[in-house]
Chain A
């Protein structure tokens, strides 16, 4: 068996989720006595391939082309299909980034294969690989296996594996092999234009030591004042899960999660937040997590240090009062 990891870079800068996926690949390789190849794709990215040679991989594949400088799903699929057909890996791994979500299912389909996306772990059972992913917004986990012939395509959720567990090469370096691909400009139907950020946010939640965050459980915009009172009594910043910002109840700059900010405060108090994966990836690095939710089965409790199973509308005023008393 052979594992190929498709790393991700933009403008010559790594997406660090690439290293988490490389670490996952090393662990799968160890469990199934096989080796890992890493692939770097883009233009003028030989230096990044060079960096990977110091990692514990058998080979680094370098795919460069003028039409791969800016990412397009058509260009990437066209190029990577050729690499997979020639390198013949059994398992193709990706970090589950927004870019990967944009092209990897299509790449697999072009080869007549399926992809198991957004995995959080794996097991090797009697030589068969079982991939674990979340369903029902994180309320359940699912064991998934591939039924057809290789290659199999898998992406791993950000934070599922640790980049600092990525092993270095024991002695020397892995070789870099350049792979030539044919991509024509007529293959690429979409035209990528400029990258941009919206108006600079006034609040930097990544620097806040204490965060009080609200979710759907807050029910209506007029109830937010109660959460604000808790935050004020604690000296914390107010944040929210995506649905609250989608509704326009709080500005987008206060959104925590995969599409918002990633934070690691000393304290994260989640009020009426169920703990869907997209939110949890943005806050699970908090040192202490407190969850208040009336649903005892809410996934947020899986990562909480302290939990209160109750109606947030009963807890918020009581907590504000206790916090003021404790000052």
Chain B
């Protein structure tokens, strides 16, 4: 079973974000594997361990994203694909998917996995769009995958604690819900082995993909507050005492 996992590299969770126009200043912050995608990668590795085949880690973005591909290789992916694009932040969801779909179309894969959304743009569309562009069946927010012959039995998460079982033929595209598994760490052996693994380099141009964007992020900004927050200051003891006072006599909730 050959599985391709789409992985995005995003600003580290605690990175201070400095806004410049419609993106952020990248020079002073750290980056990491998009957390939802790390669950998709883990699921791919587990399926490979069970059913054999190879895992390909694909990432679109500037040179820095190679680090995240290397992390995937260190965890056990067999090879990487880097679609180099310095302007990736300006791509719309459909454009992003068109570039990735062109790269996937060159491979022979049984399953394409993505996380449910990215922690930066948060479009949450790439997996579904890949299915549309590659003309594959798909399912989203998957919490369990059982492969039986040429099809899968899936557990899909719905809202408010509901789930649904779905049957889906292979090949297919799935988006993985966070929490489906427990993500592994790379071992030292894995890190050493990753150095010998191949990362293919592609670009929009070499893939021959051209498109007009469907939407534009005009600007990003710190959202305006909807509530007036009263900040309580002082030492921890003072702040805690003030809070109890407020909750008791002002908000009257305790």
Contact = CB atoms under 8 A, between A and B. Distances in A.
B111 to A, nearest CB: 14
Contact of A306 (B17, B224, B230, B254): B230
A135 B220 contact: yes
Interface of A is mostly: mixed
B219 interface: yes
A219 interface: no
Interface in B61-102: 92-94, 97
A304 B227 contact: yes
Interface in A269-309: 277, 287-291, 295, 297, 299, 301-309
A91 interface: no
B94 A191 contact: no
Interface stretch (A25-33, A38-46, A47-55, A317-325): A317-325
Interface stretch (B47-55, B137-145, B192-200): B137-145
Interface stretch (A57-65, A97-105, A174-182, A220-228): A97-105
Contact of A190 (B22, B132, B168): B168
Contact of B230 (A117, A234, A307): A307
A291 B243 CA distance: 11
Contact of B122 (A135, A299, A301, A304): A135
Contact of B236 (A142, A190, A315): A315
B159 A98 contact: yes
A288 B247 contact: yes
Given A97-B159, A106-B129, A106-B131, A242 B179 contact: yes
Contact of B128 (A103, A306, A325): A103
B253 interface: yes
Nearest to B126: A105
Given A144-B218, A190-B168, A288-B247, A262 B160 contact: yes
A203 interface: no
A216 B123 contact: no
Interface stretch (A82-90, A161-169, A192-200): A192-200
B122 A134 contact: yes
A318 B239 contact: yes
Interface in A205-262: 209-210, 216, 234-235, 242-243, 245-246, 248, 258-262
A288 B253 CA distance: 8
A259 B160 CA distance: 6
A190 to B, nearest CB: 5
B27 interface: no
Contacts of B215: 114, 116, 144-148
A102 B244 CA distance: 44
A262 B160 CA distance: 8
Interface in B149-200: 153, 157-169, 177-179, 182
A201 B160 CA distance: 12
B166 A147 contact: no
The 10 closest A-B CB pairs, nearest first, are: A114-B214, A246-B179, A189-B137, A318-B240, A193-B165, A314-B236, A105-B125, A191-B167, A106-B132, A141-B223
Given A114-B93, A302-B225, 5 more contacts: A113-B214, A138-B223, A198-B163, A261-B160, A302-B229
